[in-house]
A and B are shown apart, each in its own frame.
Chain A
């Protein structure tokens, strides 16, 4: 290991500019990927907020027996898809309507709104099929007059989420692929710059594993440093959008950020392994 580290540091000393360029290339490739990640994260957060508004409203018939309604609330809350159920009394419904639609204040003065059950679903159960299925089940209670859940709106939301998810996946793979290719090419330059040393190592009887080791460490270190730099750049970009432009946005959590840096290291490691492996096969 001592020898490996010495060879890594010698490589850095011998070609400092190439090392800096490698780290910067890795950093900017990961930064582009990170920026995409930030956009994806914020779109996903925004959709999550909208999704939380998916609810089923079951309107109760006049004179619905209180005990039966209470039992039903317990039953519905126990559905695996249901997060929680609230009973909205006619008074609460009226107060909410007045608050939300102040311009129709006079209309609501004399209005009587029915009591209802407000059912919210757990994340992952907010797709049109599940919402419809839960609504159908709720409808079977005899004291339920009508069930509404904005079928068209739920369907549109679901479509947007599916398109956003698929686009995110394809773009994510494309960004990651481009990053890996750029990083791999950069590391290949480092390998070619040390081709003479590699040929000498092999002539005196070094095993392929021995030749490969310093390059793997080098690639991993550069990947981690590049990852840290990319994270810093992404944070600057986030602060710029958040503060200067005044758009409230989310940043990666500590775990995701650490994972991103680690991914940088792994890409560096794999890029090195592929480049040096290809070189060893060719010579």
Chain B
């Protein structure tokens, strides 16, 4: 699904944000990206949805390679991904329904198909009764659910979540995390950046830890290393 091969990202002003990072995320996998603020988590996510290109190395996402992707091909990639942010990024002057419908309209879904799909998505995220509410009328957790529903409009193969619980209280955090687990259980890979270590510890998912632009820990590698060697024949 995702393959980072010796990826370095350097910004002209702030310097190296990611240094020689290599990892893969398989189809349907759930992986956490953890690390302190400024460690390089968001840079990795931006490289995945190709908002940024690597300075060196290569990023592959669903068969699209950063080394030869053209600008006009990026929207095609984004339609196969769902992206969720800490600040929800909802349009304040549109209702929950309209925010979700907007993403469908933008990607050229037929007008007739939109209401049913919006209704289904609102039900999936537990907001069937809040479709006509504006973002300001919703709690933080509910706004994030709308954002997740919007991210799911194109049945993505990968959901990218950048600190999705960063602005939420404990209860809302649990609810959003459970929703992401359900989405993952239905086959969508999830790559979630978080600095909520409690959430990470409580779950059984893979953890990739970044610090100062370098991958300092990957639970998948450790698990592979701890596997007993096959018996000698």
Contact = CB atoms under 8 A, between A and B. Distances in A.
B78 interface: yes
Nearest to B84: A203
Given A3-B105, A208-B71, A208-B72, A203 B89 contact: yes
Closest 10 CB pairs of A and B: A205-B79, A205-B78, A204-B103, A206-B106, A205-B75, A207-B75, A205-B107, A203-B83, A204-B106, A3-B105
Given A200-B91, A205-B75, 9 more contacts: A200-B89, A202-B75, A203-B49, A203-B78, A203-B89, A204-B154, A205-B78, A207-B72, A207-B75
A210 interface: yes
B71 A205 contact: no
B76 interface: yes
Interface residues of B, number: 20
B106 A205 contact: yes
B93 interface: yes
B106 A201 contact: yes
B146 interface: no
Interface in A85-111: none
A196 B75 contact: no
Nearest to A283: B51
Interface in A159-201: 196-197, 199-201
Contacts of A279: none
Interface in A242-264: none
Interface residues of A, number: 16
A3 B114 CA distance: 13
Nearest to B78: A205
Interface of B: 49, 71-72, 75-79, 83, 89, 91, 93, 102-103, 105-107, 150, 153-154
Nearest to A197: B91
Nearest to A203: B83
Main secondary structure of the interface of B (DSSP, over half): helix
Nearest to A194: B91
A204 B93 contact: no
A14 interface: yes
A280 to B, nearest CB: 9
Nearest to B99: A200
A10 B102 CA distance: 13
A206 B78 CA distance: 9
A207 B78 CA distance: 10
Contacts of B150: 204
Contact of A210 (B83, B91, B106): B106
Contact of A202 (B78, B93, B153): B78
Contacts of B103: 204-205
Q: Which of A14, A197, A199, A207 has the most CB of B within 10 A?
A: A207
B111 to A, nearest CB: 8
A210 B105 CA distance: 10
8 contacts: A200-B91, A200-B102, A203-B49, A204-B78, A205-B154, A206-B75, A206-B107, A210-B106
A7 to B, nearest CB: 9
A150 to B, nearest CB: 66
A204 B153 contact: yes
Contacts of B107: 204-206
A197 B154 CA distance: 19
Contact of B93 (A14, A201, A208): A14
A200 B84 CA distance: 11
A201 B76 CA distance: 13
